[in-house]
Amino acid sequence: MKLQKATEFALYAVLELAADPSRQLTAVEIAEKYGISSHHLAKVLRDLGRAGLVDAVRGVGGGYRFAGNAKRLTLMDVIRLFEDAGSESEDAAPRPPGEDIAEGLRFVLAEIDAQTGATLCSISLSTMLKLVARRPWTAAAETRPARRAARRAR
């Protein structure tokens, strides 16, 4: 699944704000942290506000605050606000009968999409923030050279 920029920005913003629900941040502050366009992010934050995931705090010192339930809200819940998730195969143009190879390939790609969807539905914002704090990718990077060496030795 390739995410659009707006979806990616929404995930950054929601996770950043959910990490500390008492804190309010402006679009500029979040955009600077992630090196993204504050103009584009402001639009995304308005969409997140309409969906009830963030509250806009007006006036001097205003900004946005997380307004959802981080234990219940999943990555897929955020993605679905910006992407037509799961509709790729339905939208595909009808194919003439007999295109078995094309059908077969779509069948295999649908398997991958189903796996991706299940993964995104299973990770709540709270779980994602715990994962970020744990940084499992550093351990994976450390064991990768050892695994490669073991494979070469076989």
Phi-psi group of 26: left, alpha or beta (phi > 0 → left; psi -120 to 50 → alpha; rest → beta): beta
When asked if residue 141 is in the footprint of other proteins (CB under 8 A), the reply is no
Q: What's the closest the beta carbon of residue 30 comes to other proteins, in angstroms? A: 25
From candidates 4, 109, 122, 144, binder to other proteins by CB under 8 A: 122
CB-based contacts of 44: which residues, under 8 Å, 6+ apart? 6, 9, 10, 13, 82
Q: Minimum distance from CB of 41 to other proteins (Å)?
A: 27
Given the rule CB under 8 A, which of 20-28, 35-43, 58-66, 112-120 is the region that contacts other proteins? 112-120
Among residues 102, 114, 141, 150, the one that binds other proteins under rule CB under 8 A: 114
150 binds other proteins (CB under 8 A): no
Query: Given the rule CB under 8 A, which residues bind other proteins?
Result: 71, 74, 114-115, 118-119, 121-124, 126-127, 130-131, 134, 136
